[in-house]
Amino acid sequence: MSDKVLVLNATYEPLNVCSARRAIVLVLKQKAEAIETSGRVFHSAENAFPLPAVIRLSNFVRVPHGKTRRVSRRAVLARDRHSCQYCGSRFHLTIDHIIPRSRGGESTWENIVTSCAPCNSRKGDRLPYEVNMRLRSKPRPPDPKALICMAVSEIHLSWKRYLDYAVA
């Protein structure tokens, strides 16, 4: 079983995933409470306590919707389910700026999509419509729950009710 811990906001909204070590630190510092345990026990020099599987932050963390959540290649691929947003290919994936940077396109969730290398080179420094290419879906900031599900190889049973998410 993974040693990843699901982190919930004070409102029980899933935020992200952290390591068991980090979760323990947060609990010990009383910045979070363990609300589900993994069934395993963590031993330190002085004591032992159940390893958390889900923690809830004591203070509400404001998560600005989309805007400031950092765009990363890994997260773009996860959002796009590892498929080219122009042709659907799952091979030789790269990141494409829909409006090319050379033409003022920014690195935002709305302007970056997963593209296979052939589509990317076909598109070059042009806009999709200029080369008769079409996006399969409108790019949006990712759903944090979807990213959580994709960040781990296995969803811990105790996470499911908090994720409230149909895991593919």
Q: Which residues bind Zn ion (CB under 5 A)?
A: 84, 86-87, 89, 116, 119
- Minimum distance from residue 91 beta carbon to Zn ion (Å): 9
E-strand ranges in 85-162 read: 93-97, 112-116
26 or 116, CB closer to Zn ion?
A: 116
- Minimum distance from residue 150 beta carbon to Zn ion (Å): 20
Give the span between the Cα atoms of 24 and 126, in whole angstroms.
Answer: 49
50 or 124, CB closer to Zn ion?
A: 124
Give the span between the Cα atoms of 125 and 168, in whole angstroms.
Answer: 35
- Minimum distance from residue 87 beta carbon to Zn ion (Å): 3
Using CA atoms in the order 109, 115, 119, 122, what is the torsion angle rounded to 10 degrees?
A: 40
86 or 109, CB closer to Zn ion?
A: 86
Could you give the C-alpha distances from 74 to 18, 21, 23, 149, in angstroms and in order? 16, 23, 23, 13
DSSP state of 104: T
144 CB neighbour count, 10 Å cutoff: 18
73 or 161, CB closer to Zn ion?
A: 73
Query: Which neighbouring-strand residues pair with 52?
Result: 37
- Minimum distance from residue 147 beta carbon to Zn ion (Å): 23
